[in-house]
Amino acid sequence: MLTLQRFRKKYGPMLVLDVGDLEIPSGIFWVKGTNGSGKSTFLKALAGILSFEGDVLLGGKVNVKKNPVSYRKVVNFAAAEPLFPEFLTAAEMIRLFTEVKGVPFERADWYAESIGMAPYLHQPIGSFSSGMVKKLSLILAFTGKPRLILLDEPLITLDADSLDVLYSWMVKAHRDHKVSFMVSSHQSPGTSFLRDASEILVENKSLNLKHVSVANG
């Protein structure tokens, strides 16, 4: 699904990731690692919003640097601490996003209804609680026709019911549309929905891929 070539990331002189060449197959990946290991850096680089050395290709063809528009149409990202213009309503933000991506708005309505955001769609984002901002970022991440969804710490600030909704969206998108996921979190999913999840451990500036079996319940 993703090909990393000579992938390295430095902040000034500080080398944070030195991955080299790596093939990451399709699937659902839990991105793990200690504080400061580079999980957010990795996801932001894959999202095309952070510069890095080397190349990243989706499906062996679409290069984040050489084909940025095509790449971003199919790779969606939700930040750990999303920031949106406070004066826009959630509906206006979704409209902006769908117009830029060239995808229909209607599907976003379904996601909003599903996660309990429908009553707030026409309120300004500045009036939202942190959980509501998080839900908006997740709705945007699932909107369109993504092939890869990158979720940075999606579990924080979500209540238990919303977590189950998010897990069900992931399972459905993966099953019905073969969408792959990379999800950074310090928690394990704790659900049998995601028993096929694998793990990417960010450690010693490198990435270690392994399959994990998720406990039932």
Ligand X SMILES: Nc1ncnc2c1ncn2[C@@H]1O[C@H](COP(=O)(O)OP(=O)(O)OP(=O)(O)O)[C@@H](O)[C@H]1O
* Footprint on this chain of ligand X (rule: CB under 6 A): 11, 16, 33, 35-41
Q: How many helices (H) and strands (E) does the chain have?
A: 6, 10
Q: How far is the CB of 59 from ligand X (least distance, A)?
A: 25
> Which residue carries 């750990």 as its tokens?
80
Nearer to ligand X, 36 or 126 (CB): 36
DSSP, collapsed to helix, strand or coil, labels residue 131 as helix
- Report d(CA 36, CA 60) in Å as an integer: 30
Are 139 and 105 in contact by the 8 Å Cβ rule? The answer is no
Nearer to ligand X, 52 or 111 (CB): 52
CA neighbor of 56 nearest in space, from 77, 36, 37, 35: 77
DSSP, collapsed to helix, strand or coil, labels residue 63 as strand
Half-sphere exposure of 111 (CA within 13 A, CB side): 24
Nearer to ligand X, 140 or 201 (CB): 201
Nearer to ligand X, 38 or 154 (CB): 38
Nearer to ligand X, 36 or 102 (CB): 36
- Report d(CA 141, CA 78) in Å as an integer: 6
Q: How far is the CB of 176 from ligand X (least distance, A)?
A: 30
Nearer to ligand X, 134 or 174 (CB): 134
Q: How far is the CB of 64 from ligand X (least distance, A)?
A: 17
Q: How far is the CB of 47 from ligand X (least distance, A)?
A: 13
Q: How far is the CB of 39 from ligand X (least distance, A)?
A: 4
- Report d(CA 77, CA 115) in Å as an integer: 18
Q: How far is the CB of 186 from ligand X (least distance, A)?
A: 7
- Report d(CA 75, CA 46) in Å as an integer: 8
DSSP symbol at 20: E
Question: Chain-centre distance of CA 19, in angstroms?
Answer: 20
